[in-house]
Amino acid sequence: MSIRAENKVHEMGKNSQAVRAKLIDRTPKSGEMALRGHPSLAMEVVQTVDMPHQLYIDKAEGPYLTDLDGNQYIDLTCGFGPNVVGNRFEPVEKALAAQIKKGWHYGIPGAEQAHLAELIKGSSSAVDEVMFCNSGSEATMFAFRAARAVSGKRVVALFDGSYHGIHDYALVKADHRSERSDPTGVTLGAGIPEEISQNLVTMLPNRDSNAYEIIRKYKDELALVVIEPVQSSNPRLDNKEFLQGLRDVCTECDVLLMFDEVITGFRIEYGGCQQYYDINPDIITYGKAVGGGMPIGVVAGPRKVMNAFSGTDDTPAIFAGGTFNGHPLTMVAGITILEYLKENQNEIYPYLHEQGNRIAKEINDF
């Protein structure tokens, strides 16, 4: 490391200490709440940066969050993705208020489910049918299960660096000791049987053509190849060539291809990465933005795959249900936000790309 770089690191360390001290001074109520929560909460709120204590939010509006002490922050993550047009979007708020007066939980379907399903179907030529659940993790879990039922095969392939939720079959990562071009999987966290990473989930190298050869080698065992078209951990957009090659090899090998668009769906374009790259997968999962800030997961795809949710003479039905699936509040929030995004897509998405490119450039320049 050069002297200049060492000096910069030293200066950043001093600045970090100063920021921590300032944060402690400005957030006494959050500090008190953090101490109060420790005896009761089995798990702390997830943090992505080193903080002296968790910040606790009192309210949110537009691009801002306000903590218990009245400090205002820019919400850079938009609630980790769902609030694509900001917090407390007025049309969604009004739709939720109106639905509450009609009832906020039925247990059986309301007309809102069909309306939102039609909007999702209209966003992609790959979609014939839609199934609702309550989170992106549930969506990928059901999608994996459906692929096994349809294909009659049992192995699912994930890419190095991917994230597909918190169920056992998604929490497999590449062992850092293995070859980059031919990674082996290890389970992430305790409580997950090693047999999953050894026998039921295999790993593929991202943006590496050797992935195609691994698929060809194990095609008779692979039920599904799953990919984030733009990885949340490596958000580069120049993936068209690799994704097209992946589509081609999965078709060649008769292996189902899934785009996990929980993060990218209705955010990179109205039609997600399918529209952005002009590539149709066999299964798509959605979440986050499609719920307008309410909890949601979606499995979508052509009828030949979605038949697994109802069963046919050729495809046995999987078990897929949930008390809160298709929740009325989520449905009306989703309808409202998707109608807004659809109507204004020619203005919204170019603006989002412009701002994203600007921020990326400024960070890279820094």
Specify the amino acid at residue 30.
Answer: S
Distance CA 271, CA 279 (A): 11
Strand order in the sheet with 155-159: 129-133, 297-301, 283-287, 256-261, 222-227, 155-159, 201-204
Has 288 been annotated as catalytic? yes
Neighbours of 1 (CB within 10 A): 8
Distance of CA 234 to the CA centre of its chain: 13
Reduce the DSSP state of residue 67 to 3 states and report it: strand
Neighbours of 261 (CB within 10 A): 30
Token pair recorded at residue 102: 């009609």
Has 260 been annotated as catalytic? yes
Q: Which residues contact 329 (CB under 8 A, 6 or more apart)?
A: 96, 99, 100, 104, 294
Distance CA 171, CA 186 (A): 9
Distance CA 292, CA 232 (A): 20
Q: Which residues contact 8 (CB under 8 A, 6 or more apart)?
A: none
The active-site residue, picked from 75, 153, 163, 173, is 163
Distance CA 67, CA 47 (A): 15
Contact 51, 19 (CB under 8 A): no
Of 232, 353, 345, the closest CA to residue 287 belongs to 232
The active-site residue, picked from 75, 160, 260, 282, is 260
The active-site residue, picked from 212, 282, 288, 349, is 288
Of 310, 284, 307, 279, the closest CA to residue 297 belongs to 284
Q: Catalytic amino acids? A: 163, 260, 288
